[in-house]
Chains A and B, each alone.
Chain A
Amino acid sequence: KAGVTQTPRYLIKTRGQQVTLSCSPISGHRSVSWYQQTPGQGLQFLFEYFSETQRNKGNFPGRFSGRQFSNSRSEMNVSTLELGDSALYLCASSSVAGGLETQYFGPGTRLLVL
């Protein structure tokens, strides 16, 4: 099976712009979670989608949003970018929501905001 894929891998934007990141889960996985990783804050949970529904949300401002499509692919959007949004954005997929199932991570999208 192919692993979790994320596009693009690298992105440079300027303040005030918006960005959309994409995540394709492992085939058959219906849960997709998003995380932000920065040197200062570490890994922080953004949100989780399962069967096109947002199941859980972290403590991020409304500028961060996401959605999941019927094929389980997920997109994350950040509007009005700020310098502090520079980070590695990771998505992870799993076969079910919650529980002990393993989350498989993608390689991440590295976003730089200038």
Chain B
Amino acid sequence: AQTVTQSQPEMSVQEAETVTLSCTYDTSESDYYLFWYKQPPSRQMILVIRQEAYKQQNATENRFSVNFQKAAKSFSLKISDSQLGDAAMYFCAYRLTGANSKLTFGKGITLSVRP
């Protein structure tokens, strides 16, 4: 079974600084997708960034970028120029390709941003 591990339950970053959130996963498959989701307090979960496993190039979305290391099964999220609105719970998730696959989430990490 696939598992997703986020070993850091909490992190803190100073406003305008950069922070990296770690995620590792375990799979024997070669074709899959990886995601980072953000869940602000009492607000809806939204997709931050996604990565296809077959792509070597790391995905980037504005201030958010990933470091995807397929051989190491590592998928970290870097947030640059952190803003107060980035404070949230962040979930790393994995999904196989195919119509009958499901999202498997890590336990999440709570990110706080210090003004």
The chain A residues found within 8 Å of chain B, CB to CB, are 3-4, 33, 35, 42-45, 48, 50, 55-56, 58, 90, 92, 96-100, 102-108
Contact = CB atoms under 8 A, between A and B. Distances in A.
Interface stretch (B13-21, B72-80, B104-112): B104-112
A100 B33 contact: yes
Contacts, number: 57
Contacts of B44: 3-4, 105-108
**Most chain A beta-carbon contacts within 10 A, residue among B45, B47, B100, B107:** B45
- Majority secondary structure of chain B interface residues (helix, strand, loop or mixed): loop
Given A55-B100, A56-B101, A99-B99, A42 B50 contact: no
Given A3-B44, A103-B47, A98 B101 contact: yes
Interface string B80-112: 000000000001000101111111111110000
Contacts of A108: 44
A98 B98 contact: yes
Interface of B: 33, 37, 43-47, 50, 52, 91, 95, 97-108
6 contacts: A4-B44, A42-B106, A90-B45, A97-B100, A98-B99, A105-B46
B25 to A, nearest CB: 14
A3 B45 CA distance: 12
B47 A33 contact: no
Given A3-B44, A43-B91, A90-B45, A98 B103 contact: no
A47 to B, nearest CB: 9
A45 B103 contact: yes
A45 B107 contact: no
A103 B103 contact: yes
